[in-house]
Amino acid sequence: FEIFPYCILFDKDLVVTSMGNVLKIIMPKLASKKVTEYFELVKPLIEFKFEVVLSRANNIFELATQEEIDKLIQSSSLADSGRQISVSEEDLMEEDVDKTLHIKGTMCYVEAWQQILFLACPIMKDLNSLVWTGLFINELAMHDYSRDILLLNTMEHIEMKMVMHAAEIKAAKIDKQVKLFEETKKKTEDLLSQLLPKHVADNLRSGKSPMDTCQTYESVTMLFSDVVSFTVICSRIKPIEVVMLLNNLYTLFDFLVDQNAVYKVETIGDAYLIVAGCPVKANNHNVKIVDMAFD
């Protein structure tokens, strides 16, 4: 009963006469009681009777406790021994988790005792299952692969978590790079729109060659403006004041360009070049330039 800590020995009336060391700790009240008072037969789907079980001795049997294992432990000597059952928040959130103890094995008829010995081992999916049962890994049977399977499943679970965590980090980096790319792309498009007419910039972004975007205009009117004595002014004021002067002046000019529906071609120093009738064709382009000049 030390080698098989989860074994159960019962007679023809299904009364437990002896059991493994671990089951003695978990369910001490099972002794001298019927197996059916604490366990139910899960597999195979047969009636849980001595004769029926004896006739299916070659099958693998699976029993499950009728109550959750933590309730059984709380009512046993295990709770009095000071061993605490640790339950994680994830287990508390998972309401559908089966917390009954499942044991599986073979039923062997012992003729000398005229009883059936159920050589069983617990079914543990992972270490969490072992934790909420209040058991330790050294209490698992040594004669089968229960420990190896348990540790292997846990290792796979940890590796899967690590892979998912690495994937989340990589996805976050990709999202950050995509966001940075979109911001850079928007800045580039805004800068291109300032340097070229909108339809020309759109054609270039769509992949058209520069020659395909060229258009001819029969007649346009252009305006060249220049700050009188700009060189003298620059020699008398500070550089930052020159920048502020041009900035204020061209900000006002840009506003007037929009108001008069003309197009700003370029600014070089104190020179400001404007055109009407291009890129949007207009028959009164000369009038627009004159209105702009007066403004």
Q: What is the pLDDT of residues 226-238, one digit of tens each?
A: 888 888 888 888 8
Separation of alpha carbons 98 and 100, rounded Å: 6
Q: What is the pTM of this model?
A: 0.46
Q: Who wins on pLDDT, 226 or 80?
A: 226
Structure confidence at residue 174 (pLDDT): 92
Q: Which residue has the higher pLDDT, 248 or 136?
A: 248
Confidence of residue 72 (pLDDT cuts 50, 70, 90): low
Tens-digit pLDDT profile for residues 51-65? 999 888 888 999 988
pLDDT at 257 over 90: no
Q: Is the pLDDT score of 10 beyond 60?
A: yes
- Distances, alpha carbon 143 to alpha carbons 105, 120, 139, 146, 148, in Å: 12, 10, 12, 9, 11
Interatomic CA distance for residues 164 and 147, integer angstroms: 26
Return all residues near 78 (Cβ < 8 A) that are at least 6 apart.
25, 26, 134
Parallel/antiparallel/unpaired status of strands 39-43 and 16-19 = unpaired
pLDDT greater than 70 at residue 132: no
Q: What is the pLDDT of residue 93?
A: 46
Q: pLDDT-derived band of residue 274, with 50, 70 and 90 as boundaries?
A: confident
Q: Output the CA–CA distances (angstroms, integers) from residue 35 to 22, 26, 144, in the order listed.
A: 16, 14, 24
**144-153, 217-226, 239-248, range with the lowest pLDDT:** 144-153
Find tokens 């012992």 and name the residue.
Answer: 110
Task: For residue 62, give every residue at least 6 positions away whose Cβ sits within 8 Å of its Cβ, in sequence order, or none.
Answer: 41, 42, 43, 102, 103, 104, 123
pLDDT on residue 155 = 73
What is the average pLDDT across 6-15? 90
Average pLDDT over the chain, rounded to an integer: 79
| Greatest mean pLDDT among 30-39, 73-82, 281-290 | 30-39
Q: For position 179, what pLDDT does the model report?
A: 92
Average pLDDT over residues 37-49: 90
What's the pLDDT band for 202 if we cut at 50, 70, 90?
confident
Cis peptide before 5 (omega within 30 of 0): no
Q: How far apart are CA 191 and CA 252, in angstroms?
A: 20
Using CB atoms within 10 Å of the CB of residue 89, give its burial: 0 to 12 exposed, 13 to 18 middle, 19+ buried. exposed
The CB-side HSE value for 114 (13 A sphere, CA atoms) comes to 2
pLDDT computed for residue 209 by the predictor: 76
Per-residue pLDDT, averaged over 28-39, amounts to: 88
Mean pLDDT of 217-227: 85
Average pLDDT for residues 176-201, to the nearest whole number? Answer: 81
Cα gap 119→43, rounded to integer Å: 15
